[in-house]
Amino acid sequence: MVQLDQLGSYVYALVDPYQNDKIFYVGMAGPKFDNRTNMRPTEHFSFLGKREPVSEKEVYIQRMIDSGKKPEELIHIIRHHLRGPDEAFSVEAALIDALGIDNLTNMKKGKDDSQRSRMAWSELDIRFGTKYVEWEELQTFARTQGIRITLLHLKDSYRPNLKPYELYEATRGYWKIGKYKAAMDKPTIAIACVGDAILEAYRVVMWLPFGEVFSSRYDDAILEKIKGKAVLSEKALIKKEFVGQLAKNSEFPYRRYRIKKDGELLKWPENPVKHIE
């Protein structure tokens, strides 16, 4: 058994010896006080003989142990002596990305920046491309067309490689929208943005109170919790979601562009909604 800190910050995996050491869990750990090694990998086995397994990972472990395997046969060190916890978190997240969270018993994707995580080349081209549109050009387009362009920043609901219907669901809501704008006083194009990048554009058919339409993102309990927190302010802001369709290129020709304002790439404040008209 390792006693002293011989590993530094490290990334480990739990594997299935019966399937050519197929990885079913990824984790990270680092040195503890008194230069002792963080024995985090062995903590996954602490429930054995004390209680029933309560997670998919523990069920997997219990099955391996019941078949005669020892804990040390299930633990593999992937990388060690990394340059601190930040690098270990990054390696852990990259490994989870590469293997796929759906193929692991991990409940989370790791703590690395999701904006740097795995993505298709086509999406990379959007996020870091060189096609730019100035804020003033969007204003001119909106005024010429007599429309409102509503930019929606998918900071928390976005993850790379969303399928088209998933991106639509992430973009629909919920958002704080003023009552006049929600009443569709003019045609509206809703824009899915991540940072300065325009991912997609939707022609809004109508804005509805959040939770009125079936959602694949929220179950009933979460819907009620979110709706219960909706509070009308003096500006009559309320949580809304939209129903819409993909905008035609003639309705919004700036898909896959990056937005600049005052010559700089767009930076979002706390409010994730911006209107251009």
pTM for this predicted structure:
0.60
The ranges assigned to domains in the chain are 9-116, 124-276
261-274: average pLDDT = 92
Model confidence band, residue 3 (pLDDT cutoffs 50, 70, 90): very low
pLDDT-based confidence at residue 246 (cuts at 50, 70, 90): very high
Q: Under DSSP, is residue 228 helix (H, G, I), strand (E, B) or coil? A: helix
The closest of 78, 58, 72 to 12, measured between CA atoms, is 78
CATH architecture type of domain 9-116: 3-Layer(aba) Sandwich (3.40)
50-73 pLDDT, tens digit per residue, is 999 999 999 999 999 999 999 999
Helix (H) or strand (E) segment spanning residue 265: strand 264-265
Judged by DSSP in three states, 58 sits in helix
Q: Given pLDDT bands bounded at 50, 70 and 90, which one contains residue 178? A: confident
pLDDT tens for 68-116 read 999 999 999 999 999 988 899 999 999 998 998 889 999 887 775 555 6
